[in-house]
Structure 1
Amino acid sequence: MWKKKPISGLKAGGRLKIILAIIIFSAIVLFHELGHFLLAKKNGIVVTEFSLGMGPRLVSTVKGGTRYSLKLLPLGGSCAMLGEDMEDDRPGTFNAASVWGRIAVVAAGPVFNFILAFVLSVIMVSLAGYDPAEVLDVKTESSAEKAGLQTGDVITEYEGYTIDLSRDLYLYTYFNPAQEDKTVHMTVDRDGQEINLAFKPDVSVRYLLGFNRSDASSMEVESLIQGMPLEEAGLQAGDVITSINGVKVADGDEYQAYIDEHPLSDEPVQITYERNGLEYDATITPREYRTPDLGFSYNAGYQKTTGMAVLKYSAYEVKYLIRSTIMSLKELITGHLGIKDLSGPVGVVDAIGTTYEQSKKEGTLAVWVNMIYMAIFLSANLGVMNLLPIPALDGGRLIFLVIEAVRKKPVNRQVEGMVHFAGLMLLMLLMVVVMYNDLLKIF
């Protein structure tokens, strides 16, 4: 159980997780803001302050008309430009620059995030390699085998979706599971030859009672699957199943032995369960559960590469992360994912800490590779999120600038300022909700 402790009471491991997260966050934000800074200078815009962090200044210095600051809260940063949010067209102000110059300044932040992600990917691919979508096994007599799929084939396209890495295939099939009656179209590379395949998935049929156990060795019902037989029979979380058709199932091993010897079917079975020290019986009919089966397995490991291939697969790495972010956003918009699935700074710190702890068991190289991967993921993610056409974000500012470029005159500055302010307030509210969800998940 979590207990309140002062920061000074944190274990060394806990402090290290936070330090790692701060370093990774700071590097990503710094590079993002550096993009804005360099392009602002290039276009003759005065940068009044370049800061890392938020809140009160800890230290700062002024050089060349720009104040460089390190602030108290190590999350975020800013590149404040003269006249950025005002109707000010004096020389050196943001609005005095050409519209295309301002577009370059605003777009530079996300672009620099993608550049950072690529540079880090080169390091990671050099150390760990890449994960080709190579077919490792094809089930005998499966539809995939009959269609001509062979072990060693490398999948390059699945349902029109380009596959560069095995994670591309995993990502696509995760959001778009195979359907029983829908033909799957694939393209594979076989010894340099491109081969097109088409087949319908096989179907795995199981009969289920519809419950989840607290662990594999227990027969305690942790949760019930909605609309499945046990829920309809009135069982509740916390009930303990003690026998099936009169055969005792004292633990998970006995339950599995019974299922192996007497596979569930559409025939009714009698379940005995215990609740508050009393035993109850229920006669239920297991429910058929059909699972489409593609009939093959594919590689999930990494293999080394050298030379120009490192650059190619580094680009694929960034491409994959950008696509995964966009696909996740699409699922969020369509309602397949919810606010509870989002993570903010607190959730990311926890993820970095968890990854670090797991990587330690595998050695120093694994720690470096996984920390670099987290930085690549966050940098690419930040780049995509900042390009969303949401007020207050770089993408929202770009929308107004593109409109200005098309109309040959700017949108009313006051209206634009109000829109960005409203967007900022909504983003802050979302941040609070996401942070609250992160804390609930952790504690």
Structure 2
Amino acid sequence: MNIIVAILVFGLIIFVHELGHFLLAKRAGVTIHEFSIGMGPQLFSKESGGIKYSIRMIPLGGYVAMEGEDEESNDPNSFGKKSLKDRFLTIFAGPFVNIVLCVILLIPVFFFIGTPSTKFGAVIDKSPAASAGLKKDDIILSINGQETREFNDIGRLVNKYGKEELSIKYKRKDHVDTVKLKAQNQGGRYLVGIQPAYEKNQPIKAIKQAFVVTYDTSKTMLTFLWKLVTGQLSGKAADALSGPVGVVKMVSNAATSGFINVVYLTAIISLNIGLMNLLPIPALDGWRILMLLIEGLRGGKKFPAKIEGYINAVGLIALLGLMLFVTYKDIIRLLS
């Protein structure tokens, strides 16, 4: 059953991504041959309006086959014949809707589990907050004189002033007091050892939190990737990378834990795929976007479609090789 959930999760994310490409291509009048979810042997297909809609066996990809995308074409409605703006929007739409899907899925998550508040749900034993005398149900009012209206303000201010002593003004029942403490540095982030209480059924706060978490998670993912390619990560940190097998295991675990966990993980995976596809790597949407931007800077002079197709083919082979390597590491982790 958990495997079926994992397939549905991948299917939804891929469908949304390819739907973004499809809708913008259709809006631009591009000749579309096929809209496929999955790769490999065909399981189901139906033709409508000259477009073949298909589901294929391997649920780890998909594509929108457009005339003139990777080759020269005389069709006036081929992808290559469309304006720079239409081609940019068609390519950009796939990753963009993945990011939008993340926000949409996180809204009900934070509506039901609640949004973090400035009230303490717990204070971790032997933490700086506990040593300073802070307790559960205390409410932080300000840090170093700056007001804290929501829990995200606490993390931001603790990290801003983490190298120096923190002056925390808090409220306990009807009593207001101030304590001073020094935050702990853990992996480059400063922590004081508090966990927030959560406010449930707050739609406006849930929407805001969905955007905040999407933004913060995006920053974390991109920072991790930058450190990975620049060699700033330790071997253990790099080993945290997961391929399809690892992600299926995570989805299976989430399915065991409950529906909300599946929705949350689906949102994060969708965001990950959206951001990854925006990277300027051959075979990814980010590379095509980069080529279009260079074309614009060259006054509309295009790269030969055949050469660009060869570059994308090499990039695809390299990405498949990386996927196989990461999948091998996932299997080794599972076996051990």
TM-score (norm 2): 0.80
Residue 402 (structure 1) aligns with: 293
The residue matched to 1:131 in structure 2 has which SS?
strand
**Alignment partner for residue 131 of structure 1, among 116, 123, 127?**
116
TM-score (norm 1): 0.62
Partner Cα distance (2:111, 2:284) in 1: 34
Cα deviation code 1:56-102 (max 9, x no counterpart) = 11111111111000111122111111111012253111101101110
Residue 268 (structure 2) aligns with: 377
The residue matched to 2:116 in structure 1 has which SS?
coil
Contact 1:130–1:304 (CA<8 Å) still a contact in 2? Answer: yes
Amino acid at match of 2:15: L
Q: Residues 395 and 294 (structure 1 numbering): CA distance in 2 closer, same or farther, change over 3 Å?
A: closer
Higher fraction of helix: 2
**Alignment partner for residue 417 of structure 1, among 309, 318, 327?**
309
The residue matched to 1:78 in structure 2 has which SS?
strand
Residue 65 (structure 1) aligns with: 50
Cα deviation code 1:365-404 (max 9, x no counterpart) = xx11101001101111111111111111001110000111
Aligned residues: 312
Residue 336 (structure 1) aligns with: 233
Residue 71 (structure 2) aligns with: 86
Partner Cα distance (2:19, 2:210) in 1: 22
Amino acid at match of 2:207: L
Tell me which moved more, 56-65 or 316-325. Answer: 316-325
Contact 1:201–1:292 (CA<8 Å) still a contact in 2? Answer: no
Q: Does 1:438 align with 2:330?
A: yes
**Alignment partner for residue 107 of structure 1, among 92, 99, 110?**
92
Amino acid at match of 1:342: L
Amino acid at match of 1:18: I
The aligned runs of 1:89-238 (5 Å cut-off) are: 90-132=75-117, 137=123, 151-153=138-140, 165=152, 169=155, 182-183=163-164, 201=183
Q: Does 1:45 align with 2:30?
A: yes
**Alignment partner for residue 3 of structure 2, among 18, 33, 45?**
18
Q: Residues 292 and 410 (structure 1 numbering): CA distance in 2 closer, same or farther, change over 3 Å?
A: closer
Contact 1:57–1:72 (CA<8 Å) still a contact in 2? Answer: yes
Partner Cα distance (2:334, 2:287) in 1: 32
The residue matched to 1:374 in structure 2 has which SS?
helix
Identity of aligned residues (%): 32
Partner Cα distance (2:42, 2:127) in 1: 66
Q: Residues 115 and 295 (structure 1 numbering): CA distance in 2 closer, same or farther, change over 3 Å?
A: closer
The residue matched to 1:153 in structure 2 has which SS?
strand
Q: Residues 406 and 164 (structure 1 numbering): CA distance in 2 closer, same or farther, change over 3 Å?
A: farther
Cα deviation code 1:164-210 (max 9, x no counterpart) = 649x949x98xx9x7xxx4377999989xxxxx9975579xxxxxxx
Shift of 1:340: 2.4
Amino acid at match of 2:114: G
Amino acid at match of 2:194: Y
Amino acid at match of 1:373: Y
The aligned runs of 1:274-423 (5 Å cut-off) are: 296-299=192-195, 302-333=198-229, 334-338=231-235, 339-357=238-256, 359=257, 367-408=258-299, 409-423=301-315
Q: Residues 296 and 94 (structure 1 numbering): CA distance in 2 closer, same or farther, change over 3 Å?
A: same
Tell me which moved more, 328-337 or 387-396. Answer: 328-337
Q: Residues 350 and 165 (structure 1 numbering): CA distance in 2 closer, same or farther, change over 3 Å?
A: farther
Cα deviation code 1:122-145 (max 9, x no counterpart) = 221221122346565598998x95
> Which runs of 5 or more residues in structure 2 are unaligned?
145-149, 173-178
RMSD value over aligned CA atoms?
3.7
Residue 19 (structure 2) aligns with: 34
> Which runs of 5 or more residues in structure 1 are unaligned?
1-15, 158-162, 192-196, 204-290, 360-366
Contact 2:115–2:205 (CA<8 Å) still a contact in 1? Answer: no
Shift of 1:413: 2.6
Partner Cα distance (1:33, 1:391) in 2: 18
